[in-house]
Chains A and B, each alone.
Chain A
Amino acid sequence: MNLDYTKISQGTVYDPLNGIDGQVRDIWILDGRIVAAPTDPTVLPSRTIDASGLVVMPGGIDMHCHIAGPKVNVARKMRPEEKRRGEQMPRTNITHSGSMGSVPSTFATGYKYAALGYTTAFDAAIPPIAARHAHEEFEDTPCIDKGFYVLMGNNHYVMQSLMQNEPQKLKAFIAWLLNSTKGFAPKLVNPGGVEVWKTKQAGNVSGLDSKVDHFGVTPRQIISGVAQAAGELALPHPVHIHCNNLGMPGNWETTLETMRALQGHRGHITHIQFHSYGGGDGDENTFNSKVVPMAEYVNANPNITIDVGQVLFGETTSMTGDGPLGYFLSKVYGGKWFSSDTEMESGCGITPIKYRNKSLVHALQWAIGLEWYLLVNDPWRVVMSTDHPNGGSFLAYPQIIRLLMDRTYRKDVLKTCPPEIRNRSTLWDIEREYTLNEIAIITRAGPAKILGLKNKGHLGPGADADITIYTPNENKEVMFEMPRLVIKSGRVLVDQGDIRQTLIGKTLHVQPCYDHELEKDIQEWFERYYSIRWRNYPVDLSYLYESCVVPTL
C-alpha cells in the first residue's frame, strides 16, 4: 500500500499544546491531517520538506476579526479613497484580483491571511438575519477556514425570555439561532445598549445595572443568563463579550463588573484594551490605564479569557455592532458615519479613524494593549488581536510580535509617544519579553483551546495539517511577516510570499441540541415581528462550501 505521505523534516518545532518547545522534530502529513510517523521504516514520504534550521508552528488562528458580512461590506463600499492610494492586488493565473485599504476585499483577505501564516479566522459580529450573506462571502474568502459569532446581546427574544424568567426558552433560542445561522458562538455586543440606542437620541445603557427600555432587563442579566445557557449547551466557545461602555474613560469598572457577572461561567472578554480605561467625565487629563488591577482579576479567575484588540498607529476603519459607539466615534472624528439598525437583533456603526502616536489618548491605548499581553501571567488566556480593522489591520501582527519579544524596540517606540504616558501606564517599567513558545500560544495554541477546536492549534496526530514554517531572524517582525512556507490542509499554499495554489476552506460551526417543542414559541414571536418569513430565515448547508461541525463539549 502506497500512502501519499508528506514529511516536514527536522524543523525546530513549537507546539505548545503537545509540550514541544523548540525541539527538532519530523512531522508527517496524510490526507490533509497530521499523523504519527509510520512505524514501518521502509515507508517513505512522497514529498519531504526540509525544514532544518527553520521554525515550525501550527497555522495561526485569528479569533476576533471583521472580515465578512454586511458591516464589513458596507465599510468596503464606503472607503474608496484609501484603496485607490493603497496597495493593489492584481490577479494572477491562479488568484483573483482584489483591493486593500483597511477593509480588504474577500479574495485579498484570504490571500493575505494565508501569506501571513494564518489558516483560520473568525468574524466576530454577524447579525443573524444576515448570516446567509456572511456565508456567501466566506465562499469567496479563500485559503483559510472560517467561522463567525452570532450577535445576541440585544436580541429581543433573549431579553424577553430573561424578562419572563424563562431560562429554558433562552437556552433553546440560543441553540436554535446557532443552528439556523450555522454560526459558531454567541456574541454579546454592548448588551442591552444597542436596543436603547434604537429607542432614543444618543440612547445607551450606562452600566451593568441600567434597565433596557421596554424589556426591563439589565446588561448584567443578559450576560449572566447567556453565559449560563451557553455553558449548559456545552458550546465549545460559550460566550464572546464586547462589554458595555467601550472606549469611555472609567469603563474599567464596567469591564470588571462584566467579569463578575459571568458568575464563574466560562466567558471571553474581547478587545479588552478598549475596556480598560480609568478616569471619567470625558476629561482627557484623567484618562489612564487600569490594566494592573484588571490583570490581577483575570490572573485570579481562570474562567475568563481575553483577546487584546491592540491599537496600532495609522489610519483605519472602525466597525462595530455597537450602534451607539459608532455614533460617539463619528462625533469624535467628524467624518462620514454609517449606522444600521437590524430588526429584533442588532445594530452597527462604521466610521474612519486615525490613531496618532502624538495623541496622548491614542498612545495610551497602544500602551494599554501591550500591558495586557505583558501583565496576564498565563499566556493561554490572552490572545493576540487587533480587532481587525478596528485597532489596526491583522497585517500588523508581526509588528506586535516584535513589540512583545523585543523590549528595546518597545521602549524605542514608546519614546516617540508623549512622555506623560509613563505616568499613566506601567508599560515603561515592564521588562518581560515573550518567548517564541509564548508567541505560539497567543497566536495559535491558545485561541484553539479557547475556541474548543481540538484539531487546530497543534501538530499532534489528528490535527488539521495547517502549518506555518518561518525563517528565524533576529528581527521578529521580519521573521513573522513573510513565512517560508504556509501549509493548509496538507497543501503548500504559500512559498516565501508567493501563492502557489488556493483552496476555499471549511466553515466551522456548531449544532447544539435543544428542545424542539420550544421552537413553536420562537416561531410565534418571529412571525409577529420579522419582515421575512420563518422558513426563509435559516441558512441551509448548501451555503457552506465545506461544513465542519465542531462538537459540543
Chain B
Amino acid sequence: MTSASTQVNAPTPSVPGELKVIQDATCTFCGCVCDDIELTVKDNHITEAKRACVLGKAWFLNHSVEDRPSCLIEGKPATLSEGYDRAAQILTSGKYPIIYGLSDSPCEAQRVAVSIADWISGTIDTTTSVCHGPSGMAFQGVGEVTCSLGEVANRGDMIIFWGSNPAESHPRHFTKYSLMPKGMFLPNGRKDRTCVIVDVRRTKSAKAADIFIQIKPKRDFEALWTLRALAKGIELDPELVHRETGVEFSVWTDLMERMKACKFGVIFFGMGLTMTRGKHANSEALLALTRDMNAFTRFVAKPNRGHGNVTGADNVVSWRTGYPFGVNHSRGYPRFNPGEYTTSDTLANGEADCAMMIACDPMANFSQPAREHLSTIPLIALDTKETPTTRAATVAFTVATYGINTGGTVYRMDDVPIPLRPAFPSPHPSDYDVLTAIEERVKRILGVTG
C-alpha cells in the first residue's frame, strides 16, 4: 500500500533560450530549508538564486545534470530495468539487509524506503544516527521544550548557540530566524536580543555574539551541569567549576542571571555538543537545563539540523515504525536499538550482508572497519553524482536532485513540512521512482500483495 497516490511533482521543461523564474523555491541544502528563493532558469541551468546564502547559491548555481548513465551495474552501463531487477534480487537474498541514508530525499521517497525495509525484514537507518541521534536518545530520556523557528523570530530575546556554528553551517539562520528579524514582540530586531555563543573554539559565528564563552574541549557536560546547578541555587566550588569548564565561575553566574531575566530564551545546539565526549548525555543535560529554566521564564531548545530533510526522515521512520532511526525488522516487526541497528555500528560489527545507500556517502565518511565491511557486500547506491559509495556499488543509480529536478515534501529542522518547487527536469529518475520500482519487484519476489 505504498503511497500510490503520491506523485512527486514533475517540473516543466524550459523552452530553449527562454528565461523561467521560479518563485518561492525551497533550498534543501541545510536544515533551514529556506523556502523564499527566487530561481532563474535558462536552458536547464539555474543562472540566479535570489536570497540564497553562499551555500544555497553553490547548491543551485553549480547544479548540472550529471552526464553519466542512470544505472551502472558493476561499473558498466545498464538499463534501469536491469538495475531494479538486480537491486531487488540483492535485497531479497540477503539475511541481514540494511537501508541507510535518506536525509537528502523527500518524504515521499523515504516512505518507500521504509516499506522496502519492512518487506525484506531489514534495518532502516538514517544519517540522524551519525549527527543528532544522541539528541534523539536524550529526547527519549527527558523530553524537549521547543518551538517553531517563527516563534524564535517573533519572541526570542536571548539566543544561545552551543556547539553550533551557523555562520558557516546555516548561513541564513541569523538573518532569517534567530538574531536579526524584527519580530512581533521584538520590534528592534537584533537590538532586542542578547546572543551568547558557547563553543570550544572561536568559530566564525563568535563575531555575532554579545557574549562568547570558550569552554574546555570535551567539557560541555560539566558546563551544562554547572548551569543546571546554578539555576536550582545549588552552591558550587568556583575553583572547581573554573578548572572543569575552563571558564571563570562569574561568567556562569552572570549567564544564569541573564537566562533567568530574559522573556523567551532559546538554545540552538549542534554536533559540537552531540558528537563530542558525552554525546547523548550532553544533549540530555542541555534539554534538561532548558526544561529547568521554565520554572523561571520561558525557555526552549532546538537542535540545528544539518541535512535538508533529515527531520523528514526522523518523522517518516517514526510514524511508520514508532522509532526515529536505527530500526530493525528482522523479527518481522520494528525494534529500536542505537549502537546495534545504527548503520555505522552494524557495518563495523561486520553484520550486514547487503546494503542500499540512499543519498549518503558512507564509503567517504564511515570508520575504517565499517568501510572495509561495506566493500565486501553487495551494495546498491542512489546518488545525484558519483561518490566513493556509488563507485563501490554493485548497482549504482544516478538520480535527479530533489528540490531542483523533483518535487516532494521536506521537513524543516523545526518539523514544519514544506513543499518543493522543482526548477527543471532531469533525464535521471528521482529516488522516489527508483525506490518505487525496486519495491514493486521486491514485493513480487516475496509474494507481498499489501
**What residues of chain B lie closer than 8 Å to A335, measured between beta carbons?**
143
**What residues of chain B lie closer than 8 Å to A344, measured between beta carbons?**
150
Which residues 509-553 of A sit at the B interface, judged by CB distance below 8 A? Answer: 529-533, 535-536, 540, 542, 544-546
- Chain B binding site: helix, strand, loop or mixed by DSSP? mixed
Which residues 62-113 of A sit at the B interface, judged by CB distance below 8 A? Answer: 68, 70, 72-73, 76-81, 83-84, 88-101, 103-108
Interface size grouping (class) on chain B:
35 or more
Q: Are A343 and B336 within 8 A (Cβ)?
A: no
10 additional contacts, CB 8 Å, given A73-B319, A78-B139, A200-B298?
A70-B415, A91-B119, A93-B448, A133-B315, A139-B5, A139-B6, A337-B145, A502-B450, A540-B419, A545-B3
Interface size grouping (class) on chain A:
35 or more
Nearest CB in chain B: distance from A91 CB, A = 5
What are 21 A-B contacts with C-beta separation under 8 Å? A73-B319, A76-B318, A76-B322, A78-B143, A91-B119, A91-B121, A91-B332, A91-B333, A94-B448, A98-B333, A99-B323, A105-B318, A106-B319, A136-B107, A201-B298, A339-B143, A339-B144, A529-B150, A536-B419, A542-B6, A545-B3
Q: How far is the CA of A312 from the CA of B263 in the complex (A)?
A: 39
Q: Are B417 and A340 within 8 A (Cβ)?
A: no
| In the complex, B409 has a CB within 8 A of chain A | yes
| In the complex, B335 has a CB within 8 A of chain A | yes
**What residues of chain B lie closer than 8 Å to A132, measured between beta carbons?**
409, 417, 419
Q: How far is the CA of A244 from the CA of B118 in the complex (A)?
A: 43
| In the complex, A378 has a CB within 8 A of chain B | no
Interface mask (A247-283 → B, CB under 8 Å = 1, otherwise 0): 0000000000000000000000000000000000000
| Cross-interface CB contact of A129 among B111, B263, B416, cutoff 8 Å | B416
How many A-B contacts are there with CB distance less than 8 Å?
225
| In the complex, B36 has a CB within 8 A of chain A | yes
| In the complex, A24 has a CB within 8 A of chain B | no
Q: How far is the CA of A60 from the CA of B36 in the complex (A)?
A: 44
Nearest CB in chain B: distance from A59 CB, A = 19
Interface hit among B68-76, B288-296, B387-395: B288-296
Interface mask (B110-134 → A, CB under 8 Å = 1, otherwise 0): 0100010011010000000000000
Which residues 318-338 of B sit at the A interface, judged by CB distance below 8 A? Answer: 318-324, 329, 331-336
| Cross-interface CB contact of B148 among A91, A107, A327, A340, cutoff 8 Å | A340
| In the complex, A288 has a CB within 8 A of chain B | no
| Cross-interface CB contact of B151 among A198, A203, A535, cutoff 8 Å | A198
Q: Are A88 and B333 within 8 A (Cβ)?
A: yes
Q: Are B26 and A536 within 8 A (Cβ)?
A: yes
3 cross-chain pairs, A with B, having the tightest CB-CB distances, nearest first = A343-B150, A99-B322, A531-B150
**What residues of chain B lie closer than 8 Å to A52, measured between beta carbons?**
none
Which residue of chain B has its CB nearest to the CB of A79? Answer: B140
Interface mask (B136-165 → A, CB under 8 Å = 1, otherwise 0): 100111111111111101110000000000
Q: How far is the CA of A503 from the CA of B450 in the complex (A)?
A: 9
| In the complex, B58 has a CB within 8 A of chain A | no
Q: Interface on A for B, CB 8 Å cutoff?
A: 68, 70, 72-73, 76-81, 83-84, 88-101, 103-108, 129-130, 132-133, 136-137, 139-140, 142, 156, 198-203, 214, 327, 330, 335-344, 350-351, 502-504, 529-533, 535-536, 540, 542, 544-546
Output the residue of B4, B143, B149, B151 with the most chain A CB within 10 A.
Answer: B143
| Cross-interface CB contact of A140 among B7, B111, B153, cutoff 8 Å | B111
| In the complex, B418 has a CB within 8 A of chain A | yes
Q: How far is the CA of A201 from the CA of B292 in the complex (A)?
A: 11
Given A78-B143, A93-B449, A542-B7, check contact A73 B318 (CB 8 Å): yes
Interface mask (B170-213 → A, CB under 8 Å = 1, otherwise 0): 00000011000001110000000000000000000000000000
Q: Are A201 and B295 within 8 A (Cβ)?
A: yes
| Cross-interface CB contact of A531 among B118, B153, B263, B316, cutoff 8 Å | B153
Nearest CB in chain A: distance from B145 CB, A = 5
**What residues of chain A lie closer than 8 Å to B295, measured between beta carbons?**
201
Q: How far is the CA of A101 from the CA of B323 in the complex (A)?
A: 12
Which residue of chain A has its CB nearest to the CB of B288? Answer: A336
Q: How far is the CA of A393 from the CA of B9 in the complex (A)?
A: 37
Given A84-B335, A130-B416, check contact A350 B143 (CB 8 Å): yes
Q: Are B24 and A536 within 8 A (Cβ)?
A: yes
Nearest CB in chain A: distance from B265 CB, A = 11
Nearest CB in chain A: distance from B125 CB, A = 15
**What residues of chain A lie closer than 8 Å to B139, measured between beta carbons?**
77-78, 338
**What residues of chain A lie closer than 8 Å to B449, measured between beta carbons?**
93-94
Which residues 380-426 of B sit at the A interface, judged by CB distance below 8 A? Answer: 409, 411-412, 415-419
| In the complex, B353 has a CB within 8 A of chain A | no
**What residues of chain B lie closer than 8 Å to A80, measured between beta carbons?**
140, 322-323, 336
Q: How far is the CA of A471 from the CA of B448 in the complex (A)?
A: 31
Q: Are A341 and B151 within 8 A (Cβ)?
A: yes
Q: Are B415 and A133 within 8 A (Cβ)?
A: yes
Q: Interface on B for A, CB 8 Å cutoff?
A: 1, 3-7, 9, 23-24, 26, 35-36, 107, 111, 115, 118-119, 121, 136, 139-151, 153-155, 176-177, 183-185, 263-264, 291, 294-298, 300, 314-316, 318-324, 329, 331-336, 409, 411-412, 415-419, 446-450
Q: Are B321 and A105 within 8 A (Cβ)?
A: yes
Q: Are B297 and A201 within 8 A (Cβ)?
A: yes
Nearest CB in chain B: distance from A196 CB, A = 11
**What residues of chain A lie closer than 8 Å to B9, measured between beta carbons?**
542
Given A142-B1, A201-B295, A327-B294, check contact A97 B148 (CB 8 Å): no
**What residues of chain B lie closer than 8 Å to A330, measured between beta carbons?**
143
**What residues of chain B lie closer than 8 Å to A540, measured between beta carbons?**
419
**What residues of chain B lie closer than 8 Å to A343, measured between beta carbons?**
147-151, 153-154
Q: Are B176 and A198 within 8 A (Cβ)?
A: no
Output the residue of B121, B140, B177 with the most chain A CB within 10 A.
Answer: B140
Which residue of chain B has its CB nearest to the CB of A545? Answer: B5
Q: Are B118 and A77 within 8 A (Cβ)?
A: no
Q: Are B143 and A351 within 8 A (Cβ)?
A: yes
Q: How far is the CA of A80 from the CA of B327 in the complex (A)?
A: 11
**What residues of chain A lie closer than 8 Å to B336, measured between beta carbons?**
80, 83-84
Given A92-B450, A336-B141, check contact A98 B154 (CB 8 Å): no
Q: Are B418 and A336 within 8 A (Cβ)?
A: no
| Cross-interface CB contact of A99 among B154, B316, B321, B411, cutoff 8 Å | B321
Q: Are A98 and B321 within 8 A (Cβ)?
A: yes
Q: Are A337 and B333 within 8 A (Cβ)?
A: no
Which residue of chain B has its CB nearest to the CB of A347? Answer: B147
| Cross-interface CB contact of A529 among B184, B318, B333, B334, cutoff 8 Å | B184
Q: Are A96 and B150 within 8 A (Cβ)?
A: no
**What residues of chain B lie closer than 8 Å to A339, measured between beta carbons?**
143-146, 294, 300
**What residues of chain A lie closer than 8 Å to B329, measured between beta carbons?**
91, 97
Output the residue of B264, B297, B315 with the most chain A CB within 10 A.
Answer: B315
Given A91-B119, A339-B146, check contact A97 B332 (CB 8 Å): yes
Which residue of chain B has its CB nearest to the CB of A107? Answer: B320
Q: How far is the CA of A11 from the CA of B412 in the complex (A)?
A: 52
Given A99-B333, A533-B35, check contact A91 B118 (CB 8 Å): yes
